[in-house]
Structure 1
Amino acid sequence: MIFLTKSPLTGDLCALTFSICVALSLLRCFEETARRGVFDQKLNRKLVHITFGLQFMLCWPLFSSGSQGAFMAAVVPGVNIVKVLLIGYGIVKDEATVKSMSRFGDYRELIRGPLYYVCTITLCCTVYWRTSPIAIAAICNLCAGDGSIAMAVAGFIASVGYMYYFSMFGFVEKKSEMVVGFFVVSLMSALVESLPISTKLDDNLTVPLANVLLGTLVFL
């Protein structure tokens, strides 16, 4: 919310407070749906998986440009890294969070897929920030994509959508070459997700790594 104040630090603190409140409210909502059994557990987990990262990127324009804004924004998923570690190692008991983020209801699952997920978003935020198509591709394919053709299409559409969104603020420039790049990265992400190694390790780890590596070749 840098546009509301002359101080970048104050603006970033306001943006951070707002972003954390939105993120916690979203997670709390899905914790409640998981606790009440509103959705099937796997569907509930998938809804968290899709919405958290995409919602977080919507808040990026609220922060200032440069490293300060990037690091302040990264606190939002960073808080969830701590939360996932505490619950995943059994230090904190939180059944609602476990149900909303795990496939089978085992708290130890959180130190695999969910941990890789929030670490990816945190690193993309701090390293690439909002001016890089690599960050857009990595987070969009991680969140919106999941499974063969559907993954490629969803990840591609989300990537292009965020390209237009960030271009409204002057963070990136709309280019046909970037659209083609998003298509290539999304297609390859779907391929990587279908490989046995993604099942053995975790697609929340292999897909973002493939996005970053391929994105570096395509966009730089």
Structure 2
Amino acid sequence: MTLLSSHLLLFSAVHRRTPPPCATFLRWSKPLTDGTVRFLRSPVAPAIGLDQRVSRFVAPAAAEDLLYNAGATVGVLGGAYALVRSFDELTRRNILHQGLSRKLVHILSGLLFLFSWPIFSNSPKARYFAAFVPLVNCLRLLANGLSLASDEGLIKSVTRDGDPLELLRGPLYYVLILTLCALVFWRESPIGVVSLAMMSGGDGVADIIGRRYGSMKIPYNQNKSWAGSISMLVFGFFVSIGMLYYYSVLGYIHLDWTSTVPRVALISFVATIVESLPITEVVDDNISVPLVTMAVAFFTFRY
């Protein structure tokens, strides 16, 4: 066998590698991994077995994937840090009220994190790199909430009254939900996408609109308004549809839009009802809204 023919055989073997099985969940499916290894030039190596050659060339691809995901993690972490610092600066200069700044961070943090998932590779381990981003923020919240560190910018940006202990409630639950969705659902399931869209976009906008235009209160909860609940229903629905369309265009999920739209509308309605209930003192909205959304989405998208 000539050197040229052995190289062709090697490339053929690599390209015929069977990709990992496509995990199908109801009406959506995870995109197939290409499994193709590209070489800058043909390597010159002594005559060894074909299996040994393939394993030798796969190792650098794994290392490259590791470096790529590590770089993506650093980039997303940097973006998250810059986002909080930007709103801290706007609050410090009295350009934004602290309450509005906190809610804008609430909205943008979750949506930008969800929007960043396609930056990571198609490796099964990519979700762990993505989940590392909210995990780092979780550690920051714990350190500042327990007074092990003092980050005034963080406290002003994500708390209502500047109390560090508040970091251990709503903000901490928020980043834990981000971590959970990244690890459990990732890019191949609409459940995590809709849950984060409702928690970040729907619930966040409801608070902003409700405080500004919420003169008409809901009869069973005087702390909630019709304007806030309606805005959560509308914005939660459209943000969810927008994010699902984003992942559909990229090929991560495949949906029948004729049935998806009414299902998302139902999910948004139930999440809005839960957010309007007078249970905030018992269960934080950052727990009740996404968990109920996950449950309803799971049973809704099963059929």
Listed as ranges, the gaps of 5+ residues in structure 2 are 1-37, 39-60, 207-228
Which one of 161, 164, 178 corresponds to residue 245 of structure 2?
164
* TM-score where L is the length of structure 2: 0.68
Q: What is the Cα deviation at residue 34 of structure 1? A: 2.4
Is 1:154 matched up with 2:235? yes
**2:196/2:290 contact within 8 Å kept:** yes
- TM-score when normalising by structure 1: 0.93
Q: Residue in 2 aligned with 1:34? A: 91
For residues 208 and 14 of structure 1, the distance between their equivalents in structure 2, rounded to whole angstroms, comes to 29
C-alpha contact 2:274 2:288 (8 A) present in aligned 1: yes
2:281 and 2:295 mapped to 1: Cα distance?
19
Q: Which residue identity lines up with residue 266 of structure 2 in the other structure?
A: V
Q: Which has the higher helix share?
A: 1
2:288 to 172, 188, 206: 206
1:134 correspondence with 2:216: no
Aligned to 2:166: 109
1:46 CA drift (Å): 0.5
Partner of 1:67, secondary structure, is coil
Secondary structure of residue in 2 paired with 1:93: coil
The answer on whether the counterparts of 1:84 and 1:115 sit within 8 Å (CA) in structure 2 is yes
1:70 paired to 2:127:
yes
Relative to structure 2, which stretch is displaced further, 19-28 or 127-136? Answer: 19-28
Larger radius of gyration: 2
Say which is worse superposed, 39-48 or 28-37, in terms of deviation. Answer: 28-37
- How many residues of Structure 1 are paired with residues of Structure 2 in the alignment? 217
SS at match of 1:103: coil
State the shift of 1:66 in Å.
4.8
Task: State whether structure 2 residue 89 is matched by structure 1 residue 89.
Answer: no
In 2, Cα distance between the equivalents of 1:79 and 1:36? 27
Q: Is the 8 A contact 2:65 2:123 kept in 1?
A: no
Deviation string, structure 1 residues 185-213 (Cα, Å, up to 9, x no partner): 11111100001113432111111111111
Name the SS of the counterpart of 1:14 in structure 2: helix
CA distance in 2, matches of 1:71, 1:153: 32
CA deviation after TM superposition for structure 1 residue 179, in Å: 2.1
| Residue aligning to 2:76 | 19
In 1, Cα distance between the equivalents of 2:274 and 2:124? Answer: 31
What's the CA shift string for 1:27-56, capped at 9, x where partnerless? 111122223332111101000000001011
Inter-partner Cα distance in structure 1 for 2:154 and 2:186: 28
Which moved further from structure 2: 210-219 or 112-121? 210-219
Given residue 145 of structure 2, which amino acid in structure 1 is its aligned partner?
Answer: G
Distance 1:217 1:198, change over 3 A: farther
**Corresponding residue to 1:175 among 256, 274, 288:** 256
Kindly state the Cα deviation for residue 102 of structure 1 after the two structures are TM-superposed.
0.6
Stretches of structure 1 that go unaligned for 5 or more consecutive residues are none
Larger deviation: 175-184 or 153-162? 175-184
Aligned mates of 1:35, 1:68 — CA distance in 2: 39
Q: Which AA in structure 2 matches 1:197?
A: I
Please list every run of at least 4 consecutive aligned residues from structure 1 whose deviation after the TM superposition is greater than 4 angstroms.
Answer: none
Query: Cα RMSD over matched residues?
Result: 1.7
The structural deviation recorded for 1:87 is 0.8
Say if 2:191 and 2:298, in contact at 8 Å, map to a contact too. yes
Distance 2:124 2:278 in 1: 37
Tell me the distance in 1 between the aligned counterparts of 2:236 and 2:280.
17
Q: 2:70, 2:255 → 1: CA distance?
A: 30
The 2-side partners of 1:85 and 1:103 are apart by 17
User: Separation in 2 of the partners of 1:67 and 1:113?
Assistant: 30
Query: What is the aligned-residue identity percentage?
Result: 40
Q: Distance in 1 between matches of 2:124 and 2:163?
A: 37
